[in-house]
Amino acid sequence: MRLIRTENYQEMSLEAGKIIVKKIHSKPNITLGLATGSTPKGVYDYLIQNHKENGTSFEQVNTINLDEYAGLPAKDPQSYHYFMGQNLFNHIDISEGHTHIPNGAANDLDNECRRYEELIKDLGGVDLQLLGIGQNGHIGFNEPGTPFNSRTHLVTLAQDTREANSRFFHSITDVPTHAITMGIASILDSKEILLLVSGINKAEALSKFMNGEISEDFPASALKNHKNVTVIADRDALKYC
Ligand code: PGA
């Protein structure tokens, strides 16, 4: 595992953005694994800026998002479909049909999970996966206790995850109770992983990740079994490391 120490969120985003752009240039038809939430927004800003100023093209890129809330249609402003459009896809030249996010509004969610897992396989797997970490150690929406051999599946969100995400909703009662997420085994199949961690509210989780045991009680610890993980963290997140 490689650790890149940065001063702050901006520098963390820049480091990750530079790595991603370099990968796109060396493999224009790369499959990128993407995440939502506060952590990757700065990276997406960097990618948009790089596209506009340096002409980096996403035309041949495919993207696979980690997760989506169950019950929210793509046009719902709280959905991860909407987030990705607003924060990245609408501002770059990515081809229609190349962006993939689980369909949380599917009639048969179990079937949707199977379809998504097949889709990842058909795309040849994820080349580079961008990840954040939850305060409880979750990756994607794989909450503590999720088996390490899990594939894309339907989850019941942990109460602390719903509380953490309620900042994007009017109130906690509006936060969906379920989601579809790539499983831990699906994530570990990625050829390379970038784990981004920023801020004091992630310091305990990062310390547990760096210094703790590998255990299903702390999903991110599964990443220690992967051969090509780079952690990019800022000073506040590294406070207890
Ligand atoms: P955040 O979420 O980037 O909004 O902090 C990360 C996560 O919960 O995985």
Residue 25 catalytic?
no
Give the SS3 label for residue 176. Answer: coil
In a domain, 241, yes or no: no
Short-list 173, 211, 12, 174, CA closest to 77: 174
Query: Which pLDDT belongs to residue 152?
Result: 98
In a domain, 240, yes or no: no
Half-sphere exposure for 62 (CA within 13 Å, toward CB): 17
Range of the domain at 44: 2-234
In a domain, 131, yes or no: yes
Contact 186, 120 (CB under 8 A): yes
Ranges in the chain, pLDDT < 50 = none
In a domain, 224, yes or no: yes
Strand 229-234 and strand 192-197: pairing?
parallel
Provide the number of structural domains found in the chain: 1
Residue 93 per-residue DSSP state: -
Residue 225 CB contacts under 8 Å (≥ 6 apart), including other chains: 148, 188, 214
Decide: 42 in ligand 1 pocket, CB within 6 A. Answer: no
Contact 29, 207 (CB under 8 A): no
In a domain, 50, yes or no: yes
Q: What are phi and psi of 32, to 5 degrees?
A: -100, 135
Q: Ligand 1 pocket test: which of 12, 38, 201 has the largest number of ligand atoms within 8 Å of its C-beta?
A: 38
Give the Cα separation of 11 and 194 in Å (integer).
Answer: 15
In a domain, 41, yes or no: yes
Query: Which pLDDT belongs to residue 149?
Result: 98
Index of the ligand 1 atom closest to the CA of residue 161:
8
Q: Residue 125 sits in a domain of what CATH number?
A: 3.40.50.1360
Contact 180, 150 (CB under 8 A): no
Query: Which pLDDT belongs to residue 139?
Result: 98
Q: What are phi and psi of 212, to 5 degrees?
A: -85, 180
In a domain, 239, yes or no: no
Query: Which pLDDT belongs to residue 8?
Result: 98
Query: Which pLDDT belongs to residue 125?
Result: 98
How far, in Å, is the centroid of ligand 1 from the Cα of 69?
A: 14
Quick: pLDDT tens for 85-98: 999 999 999 998 99
Query: Which pLDDT belongs to residue 180?
Result: 98
Query: Which pLDDT belongs to residue 216?
Result: 98
Query: Which pLDDT belongs to residue 19?
Result: 98
